[in-house]
């Protein structure tokens, strides 16, 4: 994740170097591609640098090799008021709902919405810095939500808003000027998005052009005065691979955006983003640059894929992933830079990026705008985030020192590295647990991370871990800018040594005897066992004598039991199993099962089930050839709280079953009445 070009950009702007622009002659020069792209993006002016400024220049260019970018939450746009800023009546006021497309231009945020539960649509203008409502240029039943863009190439200022089959051109004051219905050869069939190249680069032959994503192609137009247009060309795909060949029609291209600094163009469907640039020597032609397929580790977008894209003027690309609610950030070279969202905002859950293009970025302030909607009753909104902030870069590395400790537990050391990325000192924590989905525990790093630009090792020690358990952990880090929560794909895991006690039970309890039972997994280490028992938690007795019989050194549970005699009647007894494991060769270590209790029967009483229960036949005596499902996840479906009724599932009813025509699978309702248990079939 090399951000040296961005740091160089910032420095050269401060030094007065003009840019960005392209300079011919880079291709074929033999320069490395990264150098070529840097040279090709700048018109260079002679600048005199002092020794101090040269040092600063080199430090900025060298910079940290990696950084993890995020965006801090700033505010929300939530409402279209009933009254405009000059006291005028707004035709269609109300809460922001179902944002379909957005764009930011010259400090103004333009939003196209479909109003939930109605056929109404509206197009509104807000102050991008303050969120204040400015004007409503449309409010009505026309489907003006398939894309919105603003251009200035004619000097008049035009707002382009797409329906499914046309582009309606408004003046910035809201006056409708013209309607585009297609190219010279065909009408628009299904417009998905629209964008305008507002770059000022003299080398951008496409400056001012309007891109209309229609069907499986991008139509390019040159705007004229009074909202008119001249058709330029059509972009149909990458070399040797038309857009339509990337997937089914439901996965066709759906988003288009432009770098307002360089004029580069990005086109996406659900699973990839293609980058193009206008060819300086051949106006009307576009060169395919590269493809971005997703964030690490799989480099793919998950679930329903991309729901919106935006291209910042600093060359950074944003892609909203619909399922996760995350906004991924990439450099124009395709390097993954970071992510924003997912954890929510102070106003509520982050929600889901809008179903079309609920994503925009201000090319001047680099603020990020995300149109979200909620399926849980929370109000929709446009969440506003600030520009890039650098948070520490983290990497989780394997655990060390995983070994048996005192009292039958295990200790481990969690490891990772933190790179402050020149953004100040950092603190860090490991989050950990026994499930990938729930890292519910936290362990602070043993030291803070000082200011610097290189990865530094960090660690945290854990104790009291259970044997034969798989633990998962992830490193997180925080600096003054914010927190890097780490990535799920960075998670590490380890399995603790020692035997696993996976169950303790007892049977055949009477006044004087009981059978103690347990399930033990040797976990690949020679293991013996015995039980401790007695009238208190101090136990006092054991059976058999330690170290007890061997259960081998295999993998998987071994069932063990010991019959205890000579107990006292009607007495509370404590017991637990002890597994002795050679986790260190020749040095068996004890691992203890959890404390358990039982009560012996009164003298002279017969063996009884707990709570006075008795064994009863529940299943009907005549099953008509059916087989009842055993008690497991797909067996008993539901039971009453009192235990006098439940629903079970039968299968494999024979063809000779009665009554005739019964299905091979039935739900059975069983209930207990005055005459005992009875059952009947349930239809489905």
| Each residue's pLDDT tens digit, 417-448 | 999 999 999 999 999 999 998 899 999 999 99
CA distance 420 to 425: 6
Task: Answer for the pair 507, 517: CB distance below 8 angstroms, yes or no.
Answer: yes
pLDDT digits (tens, 9 = 90+) for 160-184: 999 999 999 999 888 999 999 999 9
pLDDT digits (tens, 9 = 90+) for 572-585: 999 999 999 998 88
Q: Is it the case that residue 78 has pLDDT exceeding 60? A: yes
pLDDT digits (tens, 9 = 90+) for 131-145: 999 999 999 988 888
What the block records as the tokens of 542 is: 């054991």
Task: Answer for the pair 77, 131: CB distance below 8 angstroms, yes or no.
Answer: yes
Q: Is it the case that residue 457 has pLDDT exceeding 90? A: yes
Task: Answer for the pair 220, 258: CB distance below 8 angstroms, yes or no.
Answer: no
Nearest of 525, 461, 528, 523 to residue 495 by alpha carbon: 523
Buried-exposed string 352-385: b where 16+ CB fall within 10 A, e elsewhere: bbbbbbbbbbbbeebbbbbbbbeeeeebbbbbbb
pLDDT digits (tens, 9 = 90+) for 272-315: 999 999 987 788 889 999 999 999 888 998 877 898 999 999 99
Distance of CA 502 to the CA centre of its chain: 33
**How far are the Cα atoms of 69, 307, 386 from residue 379, in angstroms, in the given order?**
28, 19, 22
Domains of the chain with CATH codes: 4-62 (no CATH), 68-387 (2.120.10.30), 393-495 (2.60.40.10), 500-610 (2.60.40.10), 616-682 (no CATH)
Residue 482, SS3 per DSSP: strand
pLDDT band at 158 (very low <50, low <70, confident <90, very high): very high
Looking up tokens 């103004």 gives: 108
Instruction: Output the pLDDT for position 28.
Output: 32
Distance of CA 103 to the CA centre of its chain: 25
CA distance 42 to 39: 6
- Half-sphere CA count of 276, side-chain side, radius 13 A: 25
DSSP 205: T
Other CB atoms within 10 Å distance of the CB of residue 537: 10
Greatest mean pLDDT among 241-255, 335-349, 528-542: 528-542
pLDDT digits (tens, 9 = 90+) for 198-249: 987 666 678 889 999 998 899 999 999 999 999 999 999 998 888 876 544 4
Residue 330 burial (C-beta neighbours within 10 Å; 0-12, 13-18, 19+): buried
What the block records as the tokens of 87 is: 């006291």
């Amino acid at each position: 994740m090399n951000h040296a070009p961005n740091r160089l950009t910032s420095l050269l702007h401060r030094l007065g170097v003009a840019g960005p622009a392209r300079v011919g002659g880079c291709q074929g020069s033999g320069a490395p591609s990264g150098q070529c792209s840097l040279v090709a993006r700048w018109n260079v002016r002679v600048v005199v640098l002092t020794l101090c400024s040269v040092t600063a220049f080199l430090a900025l260019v060298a910079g940290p090799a990696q950084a993890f970018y995020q965006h801090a939450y700033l505010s929300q746009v939530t409402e279209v008021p009933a009254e405009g800023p000059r006291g005028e009546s707004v035709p269609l006021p109300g809460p922001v709902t179902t944002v379909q497309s957005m764009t930011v231009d010259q400090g103004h945020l333009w939003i196209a919405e479909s109003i939930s539960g109605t056929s109404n649509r509206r197009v509104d203008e807000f102050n991008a810095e303050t969120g204040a409502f400015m004007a409503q240029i449309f409010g009505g039943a026309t489907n003006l939500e398939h894309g919105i863009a603003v251009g200035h190439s004619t000097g008049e200022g035009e707002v382009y808003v797409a329906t499914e089959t046309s582009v309606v051109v408004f003046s910035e004051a809201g006056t409708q000027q013209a309607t585009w219905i297609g190219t010279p050869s065909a009408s628009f069939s299904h417009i998905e998005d629209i964008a305008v190249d507002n770059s000022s680069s003299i080398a951008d032959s496409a400056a001012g052009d309007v891109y209309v994503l229609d069907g499986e192609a991008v139509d390019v137009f040159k705007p004229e005065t009074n909202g008119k247009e001249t058709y330029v060309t059509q972009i149909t795909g990458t070399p040797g691979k038309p857009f339509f060949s990337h997937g089914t029609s439901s996965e066709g291209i759906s988003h288009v955006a432009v770098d307002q600094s360089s004029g580069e163009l990005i086109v996406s469907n659900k699973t990839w983003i293609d980058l193009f640039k206008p060819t300086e020597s051949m106006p009307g032609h576009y060169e395919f640059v590269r493809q971005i397929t997703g964030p690490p580790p799989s480099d793919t977008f998950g679930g329903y894929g991309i729901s919106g894209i935006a291209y910042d003027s600093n060359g950074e690309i944003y892609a909203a992933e619909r399922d996760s609610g995350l906004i991924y950030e990439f450099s124009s070279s395709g390097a993954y830079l970071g992510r924003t969202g997912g954890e929510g905002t102070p106003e509520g859950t982050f929600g889901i990026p809008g179903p079309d293009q609920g994503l925009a970025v201000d090319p001047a302030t680099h603020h990020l705008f995300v149109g979200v909607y909620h399926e849980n009753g929370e109000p929709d909104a446009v969440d506003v985030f600030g520009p890039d902030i650098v948070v520490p870069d983290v990497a989780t590395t394997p655990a060390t020192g995983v070994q048996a400790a005192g009292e039958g537990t295990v200790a481990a050391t969690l490891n990772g590295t933190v790179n402050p990325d020149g953004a100040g000192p950092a603190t860090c924590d490991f989050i950990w647990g026994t499930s990938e989905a729930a890292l519910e525990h936290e362990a602070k790093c043993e030291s803070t991370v000082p200011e610097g630009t290189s990865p530094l090792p960090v660690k945290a020690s854990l104790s009291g871990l259970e044997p034969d358990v798989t633990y998962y952990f992830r490193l997180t880090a925080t600096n003054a800018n914010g927190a890097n929560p780490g990535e799920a794909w960075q998670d590490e895991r380890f399995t603790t040594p020692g035997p696993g006690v996976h169950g303790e039970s007892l049977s055949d309890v009477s006044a004087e005897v009981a059978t103690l039972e347990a399930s033990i997994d040797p976990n690949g280490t020679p293991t013996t066992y015995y039980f401790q028992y007695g009238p208190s938690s101090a136990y006092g007795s054991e059976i058999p004598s330690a170290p007890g019989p061997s259960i081998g050194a295999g993998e998987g549970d071994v069932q063990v039991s010991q019959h205890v005699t000579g107990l006292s009647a009607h007495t509370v007894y404590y017991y637990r199993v002890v597994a002795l494991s050679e986790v260190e060769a020749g040095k068996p270590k004890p691992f203890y099962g959890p404390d358990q209790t039982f009560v012996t029967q009164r003298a002279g009483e017969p063996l009884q089930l707990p709570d006075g229960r008795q064994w009863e036949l529940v299943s009907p005596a005549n099953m008509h050839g059916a087989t009842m499902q055993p008690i497991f996840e797909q067996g008993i479906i539901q039971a009453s709280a009192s235990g006098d009724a439940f629903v079970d599932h039968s299968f494999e009813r024979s063809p000779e079953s009665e009554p005739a025509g019964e299905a091979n699978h039935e739900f059975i309702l069983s209930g207990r009445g005055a005459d005992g248990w009875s059952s009947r079939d349930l239809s489905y």
